[in-house]
Structures are given as structure tokens and as C-alpha cells.
Amino acid sequence: MNALLERIDRLTEIGIALSAEKDTGKLLELIMMGAKTLTHADGGTLYFVKDDKLTFEIISNDSLAIQMGGTSGNKIEFDPLPIYLQDGAENHHMVVSHCVLTGQTVNIEDAYHEEGYDFTGARRFDKSTGYKTQSILTFPLKDHEHEIIGVLQLINAKDPESGEVISFNAVDQQLAESLASQAAVALTQKRLLNELQALFEAFIKMMATAIDDKSPYTGGHCRRIPVLTMMLAEAVSEVKTGPMTNFVITSKDRYELETAAWLHDCGKVVTPEYVMDKATKLETIYDRIHLIEHRVEILLRDLEIDYLKACYKADQQGQDIEALTSRYQQNTEELKADLEFLQQSNVGGEFMTDDSITRTHAIAKKQWIDLTGKTVPLLSEDELVNINIRKGTLNDREREVINHHIVATINMLESLPFPKHLKNVPEYAGGHHEKMDGTGYPRGLKKEDMSVQTRIMAIADIFEALTASDRPYKKGKKLSECLKIMGYMKKDNHIDADLYDIFVQQKVYLKYAEEFLDPEQIDEIDAQAVVAF
């Protein structure tokens, strides 16, 4: 009775250990070692059911000192065992496949005298090793839905006192079946957790891909940011001196930060395409510069008509047309120059000066006659506002729409019930547009209000945007130009100076560039000059 109670206590201990173990390899070994201990078995094999076959997961034999699978480092090379024969018939010839098909425990006293099963494989193994397979206990592992997920087969029960091989008794079988139930629960829980994690990761990557695919001009941004973020995070974690010495990133931290990086722009699902894809200042559904080109074409036609009429009249009156021709050519050249200026301004590549804005106002006042015969300005009020955007292609209202994506990101992520190990995802993802001096958005956070991870993401987002060659309004900048711009941002306290120095000194920028940038973007960098801002 005492021995039985000890075995029951051991079963309880194994059950607790199974529920706590997170590593699959160690979990499989716990199941095998626990089953052998409870039944005093000399060896055993654990199989998983996969695609109508039984795959070898753990092989253990104490007498032969065999440990394969799990965390042993010894790979199992045996082919899976078929549950069904080639003709589709059920395979009841092997004990393990019969166990799966019937869902029943099979307890064999002596394999060499048992009829009804094919023990060719066991006898071949015995012949090659000098071992003798005698008693066999085979039982299924059933999950919470009573589906058989695996089979555990124990070999050669031994008398605890004499060490002789004996049969597995009723108590052995009952304890083994109890362990099998707990093991199945633990394995199923582990499988479900893995499947949920895989589903979650696939979902966030699908979301990022959808955002990238939404705009041909930002394709790849959401996929590149996680890579660059983790490159910088690893570099910061490896630094052993300076103000970032205490920053250490664990595997949990890595997973949390990378998840945030994948989701950092998820709010762009609510951003209209006409704003995200605005390649020129006058673009809406189409580029309105073409309307202005047509108006100028009409004005040029009208100038020509007026000139020809004046020439005809002058000829009738015997007057010289030289002055008329000079004025016509001057007006034509001026109009063409105005159009060329508007076309260049529409690109949004250069900063609009006060003189340029004054000129656009003067051009806008020129008039043309529309189809209704009404005389109207060459540029509408809305066209004038957009053509005078000082930097980039977005006006103030559109800039607010773009900036709203980060608010949407925060709202979306804060509405999700993230588990404890991902609780910081909304903070990390939602702060990549904040600045160290508090002038960023949407919350105006300062450096002391932001985690290191958030500040890392801010640098990654800026550098990716500067180097990206798929933006509608600019080409990807060279490394030297990007680092110079970020150097000024460091000086102005917009990005974290310590993190930026590591970014440059550890050549994170170069590691990223070699993987993602065009070769012509990669030029020589004077690291000391860059960090000296």
C-alpha cells in the first residue's frame, strides 16, 4: 500500500510538472520518464499522430543507454508508421496503429508468444542489439475532444527488487492511462498555445502586408520597420559602456518589441488612399496639373488667335506687325514659363520660398474663358492652396489626416486585450512619432515619458522613411544625407542622442542598408563627424 501511495504521489508530481513545462522537447521527455518511473519500464517510445501516420518523437531504453528525440540532440531517423495500408484498409498488424484505430490500451505479456500482431520490427531490433522485447504496454493519448493525438508504448516492466522482466499489471496500466490523460492535456495545451501564437503572428503580418499593399508608395514599410527596429535593439543591448549600459533585452522583450514594430502603422487602415498616395500637390483622384495645362493651352490658343486677328487688321491698314509679333512672343514665353514653374512646384521636391509663393499668386490671377464663356482665374482657390504647400505634397488638412493614423493605431491597440507579456505593445507602437523635446504627436511626450523601446522605434521609422525609394514625392536618400539629417534631429533634441550614437557607431545603418537599399544609396560615412552634431 505504501508503494502504491508513493507511485500515486509521483503521478501527482509528474502532472504538476507537465502543466508547468513550456518547452516541447522537455515536455515529451517528462512524459516518457514519468511513464517509465510509474510502471518500472525499461524503455519506451512516444509517437505522434500526423497525417494518418505515427511519427517517432521520443525513444528511450535504459539497458541499451538509448535516448533519442526531445532535448537529447540525437535525431530519430526512423520512417513514420502507417495507420492505414496502401489499399486504404486499417493497419491492425502493428500494436501502435491498432491502438490508434481502436482507442484501446493493449497490454502484452510476452511479444514472442503473442498472436495477432506483427513484431517483425521488434525482433529485428532485438537481433541487432541483443535485447529481448518481452512485455509491452501500449496506450493512446487523447485530447479534450477525445481525438487521439499520440501513442505511448512501454517496454519490459521490471520487478523493483529482482530486476527481472515481468508483465505490466493492472495497477501499472491504470497509472499509465492516468498519466496519458494528463500528458494529452499538457500536449494539447502546448499545441493550442503554439497554434494561437502562430495565428496571432500571421494576423499581424497580414495586417502589415495589407497596409503596405494598400499603397504602392509605402509597400514594404511595415515589413522593413520590424527588421530595423530589432537590429537597433540588439545593438543597444550589446553595449557595455555609456548611458545605455543597463538596457538588456530578453527573448520576451524581443517578441514584444517586434510585435509592436509589425503593428506600428495599423491605424493606416483608416487613412484614405488619396491622401496616402498623394504623389503631387495637385493630385486628388487624378493630378489636376493636367487641368491647368489644358487651361494654359487654351490661353496660348487665344493669344495666337488674337495675334493673327491683330496682324490681319494691321495688314489691312498697312501697319507694321513687328511690335505685335514681339508682344505675342513675349506673352507666349511668359505663359509657358509660368506653366513650367507650376509643373515643377507641383512635384513637391523643393521647399517653396516666399518669392515662389508670391509668383504663384500672380499666376493665379491670370484669367481664361471657360466653356460657359465665363472669365475665371487660371487657378482655383483650392489649387492655389495646394500648389503653395511649402514642403512635400500634403496640405495642412491632409497632414492632419495622415497624422491621425497614429491616434487610430493607439485606439485600435489599446482596445485589444493583450496578454501580460505583450502589454507594452500599444505604448511602443503608438509613440514612434513622439520627439524627445515634447513637440511630437499625438501626445507630446518627452524623453523621460518614453521607454527605450519606443525611442528605438522612432529612430527606425525616421531612417526607413528617409532611405525608402518607394515614396511618391522623393527618391531614397543616400546614407550620408540621411545621417546628416538625423544628426540635426539629434542636435534639436527630436531623437534620442544616445540611441542615435549607437545606431551610427555600431553601424546598424550599414547592416540595414546592405540588405534593403540600392547600391547607389550606400556611400562613405564619417561616423565621428555624424555623431559630433
| Per-residue pLDDT tens digits for 53-80 | 999 999 999 999 999 998 898 999 999 9
Whether residue 176 contacts residue 139, with contact meaning beta carbons closer than 8 Å, is answered with yes
Q: What does DSSP say about strands 165-166 and 66-69: parallel, antiparallel, or unpaired?
A: unpaired
Q: Over the stretch 459-498, which tens digit does the pLDDT of each residue have?
A: 999 999 999 876 655 678 899 999 999 999 999 999 999 9
- Residue 532 confidence class, pLDDT cut points 50, 70, 90: confident
Place of cell 511626450: 445
Alpha carbons 347 and 465: distance in angstroms, whole number: 18
Number of residues written out for the chain: 533
| Average confidence (pLDDT) over 417-444 | 95
Residue 506 has pLDDT above 70, yes or no: yes
pLDDT of residue 471: 60
Whether residue 457 contacts residue 229, with contact meaning beta carbons closer than 8 Å, is answered with yes
How far out from the chain centre does Cα 304 lie?
60
pLDDT of residue 345: 93
Whether residue 409 contacts residue 429, with contact meaning beta carbons closer than 8 Å, is answered with yes
Whether residue 455 contacts residue 447, with contact meaning beta carbons closer than 8 Å, is answered with yes
Alpha carbons 507 and 519: distance in angstroms, whole number: 16
User: What is the phi/psi pair of residue 284, to 5°?
Assistant: -125, -105
**DSSP secondary structure, 478-505, as one string:** PHHHHHHHHHHHHHTTSS-HHHHHHHHH
Whether residue 383 contacts residue 280, with contact meaning beta carbons closer than 8 Å, is answered with no
Mean pLDDT of the chain: 90
Residue with the bigger pLDDT between 212 and 342: it is 342
C-alpha cell belonging to residue 495? 531623437
Residue 508 has pLDDT above 60, yes or no: yes
Q: Which of 248, 46, 272, 3 is nearest to 139 (CA)?
A: 46
- Residue 190 confidence class, pLDDT cut points 50, 70, 90: confident
pLDDT of residue 115: 86
Q: Over the stretch 220-244, which tens digit does the pLDDT of each residue have?
A: 888 899 999 999 999 999 999 999 9
- Residue 448 confidence class, pLDDT cut points 50, 70, 90: very high
pLDDT of residue 215: 72
| Average confidence (pLDDT) over 110-132 | 89
Residue with the bigger pLDDT between 408 and 179: it is 408
Tell me the three state secondary structure of residue 387: helix
- Residue 315 confidence class, pLDDT cut points 50, 70, 90: confident
Alpha carbons 379 and 345: distance in angstroms, whole number: 14
pLDDT of residue 14: 72
Q: Over the stretch 320-338, which tens digit does the pLDDT of each residue have?
A: 899 999 999 999 999 999 9
Cα pseudo-dihedral 457, 460, 464, 466, rounded to 10? 110
Q: What does DSSP say about strands 81-82 and 66-69: parallel, antiparallel, or unpaired?
A: unpaired
Q: Over the stretch 342-387, which tens digit does the pLDDT of each residue have?
A: 999 998 877 899 999 999 999 999 999 988 989 999 999 999 999 9
Alpha carbons 143 and 145: distance in angstroms, whole number: 5
Q: Over the stretch 143-153, which tens digit does the pLDDT of each residue have?
A: 878 889 999 99
pLDDT of residue 474: 61
| Pairs from 92-100 (Cβ < 8 Å, separation ≥ 24) | 93/117, 93/118, 94/118, 94/121, 95/136, 95/138, 95/153, 96/45, 96/47, 96/54, 96/138, 96/151, 96/153, 97/54, 99/138, 99/139, 99/140, 99/151, 99/153, 100/49, 100/54, 100/140, 100/148, 100/151
Residue 277 has pLDDT above 80, yes or no: no
Residue 162 has pLDDT above 70, yes or no: yes
